[in-house]
Amino acid sequence: MANLSVSLAANEWLGGEHEGRGAIFRALLLNEPYYYMHLVPLCEFWVGGKANVAKRDIYTMCAIEKPIRTASHVGEGHVSSFQSRVPDKLFAGAFKFRALIPELGREAWIFFSISGMPELGDEAAGLETAALMNVRGWTVNLSDLRQVLKISGNTIFKGEPHAT
């Protein structure tokens, strides 16, 4: 899902100089009590194109930093790394949402973090991935995704989180 989403964001939504780019995708589970020390990595991999794979190490560091920073502000109501971003230093591209995950047998808070494109492209690809997971067996809380969109005012994301 993330591979399709990053390719869509890079090649169609962003286009131009971003065509053929890829990104690091990380998914994490946020356990109680909700704080960054309770983030559990679920997966991490390179997705999309290879045009920028030489920067994989820096993208990996950013994809790790974004959800940790956001989770450290959960007590302040943060759901997106956009809320604690510092332009040109600390970027957006990670967010949390609730999903009922059959493999866990319960609803859980999940973080998606993507790094490799402009920050709102990263966020857009993550939102698309979460929306696609909703059709692939998870029951994603779509209002959480809409809240992320509202916070950032993301104009890269061309879809609307919806159930199908």
pLDDT tens profile 50-99 = 999 999 999 999 999 999 999 999 989 999 999 999 988 889 999 999 99
Residue 88 zone, left/alpha/beta (φ > 0; ψ -120 to 50; rest) = left
**Mean pLDDT, to the nearest integer, of 8-21?**
91
Beta pairing class for 39-48 and 22-30: antiparallel
Are residues 61 and 26 in contact, defined by beta-carbon separation less than 8 angstroms?
no
- Mention the CATH class of domain 2-152: alpha beta
How far is residue 89's CA from residue 87's CA, in Å, rounded to a whole number?
A: 5
Are residues 100 and 85 in contact, defined by beta-carbon separation less than 8 angstroms?
no
Q: What is the model's pTM?
A: 0.92
